[in-house]
Amino acid sequence: MKRIKGSIIDKLIFSAAFLMLSFTVIAQESDSKPGNSAQELADKLANPVASLISVPLQNNINYGIGPYNGVKYTVNIQPVIPFKLSDNLNLITRYILPVVDQRNITGLNTHEFGLSDATVTAFFAPKSKKLIYGIGPAFLVPTATEKVLGTEKFGVGPSALIMHQANGLSVGFIANQIWSVAGNEDRADFNQFYTQIFLSYSYKSGASLGINSEITQNWEGNITLISLNPSIGGITKFGSQVVQFSVQPLIPIVGHQAIKPDWGLRAVVAFVFPGS
pLDDT tops 50 at residue 20: no
Q: Contact, 154 vs 142, CB < 8 A?
A: yes
Confidence tier at 7 by pLDDT (50, 70, 90)? low
pLDDT tops 70 at residue 26: no
Any idea where the domains of the chain sit in the sequence? 2-273
pLDDT tops 90 at residue 2: no
Across the range 220-243, mean pLDDT stands at 93
Beta carbons within 8 Å of 160's beta carbon, 6+ residues apart: 133, 134, 135, 174, 175, 176
- The single-letter code of the amino acid at 156 is V
Confidence tier at 16 by pLDDT (50, 70, 90)? very low
pLDDT tops 80 at residue 35: no
Asked which of 15-24, 82-91, 140-149, 217-226 is least confident by mean pLDDT, the reply is 15-24
For residue 218, what pLDDT is reported? 95
For residue 195, what pLDDT is reported? 98
For residue 258, what pLDDT is reported? 77
The string of pLDDT tens digits covering residues 153-204 is: 999 999 999 999 998 999 999 999 999 999 999 999 999 999 999 999 999 9
Beta carbons within 8 Å of 74's beta carbon, 6+ residues apart: 58, 59, 60, 61, 98, 99, 100, 101, 116
CA-based nearest residue to 265, from 35, 64, 46, 68: 64
| Cα pseudo-dihedral 229, 235, 238, 239, rounded to 10 | 160
Average pLDDT, rounded, for the chain: 88
The more confident residue out of 5 and 234 is 234
Confidence tier at 275 by pLDDT (50, 70, 90)? low
The string of pLDDT tens digits covering residues 96-116 is: 999 999 999 999 999 999 999
Q: Model pTM?
A: 0.85
The more confident residue out of 37 and 208 is 208
For residue 36, what pLDDT is reported? 44
CA-based nearest residue to 208, from 72, 14, 25, 83: 25
Calpha distance 267→198 (Å, rounded)? 17
| Yes or no: domain 2-273 corresponds to CATH 1.20.1050.10 | no
